[in-house]
Amino acid sequence: MLELDQDCRELDARGLDCPMPLLKAKQALNGMEPREVLKVLATDPGSVRDFASFAELAGHELLFSGEESGVFTHILKKHG
């Protein structure tokens, strides 16, 4: 897993089905400052595709996306 050199916010979206992990992440990012980092935990396998597409379309940087023991971790840096 990626080691972050700065603090990040964490969003636990485990147990939520698509599109809720992404919607919750969008809400969290809206309340953050540019270049802040958000770590999202999800159990929905579709979140991998969703977060990759969202980061590209919205201009955020997807720093990490991976899975361990059925939990998908996505780390985004808000554009700025």
- Told to judge if 18 belongs to the known catalytic residues of this protein, a careful annotator would answer yes
The 10 Å Cβ neighbour count of residue 29 is 20
Cβ partners under 8 Å of residue 80, min gap 6: 33, 34, 35
Q: Which amino acid is at 13?
A: A
Among 18, 20, 32, 62, the one annotated catalytic: 18
Catalytic sites, residue numbers = 18
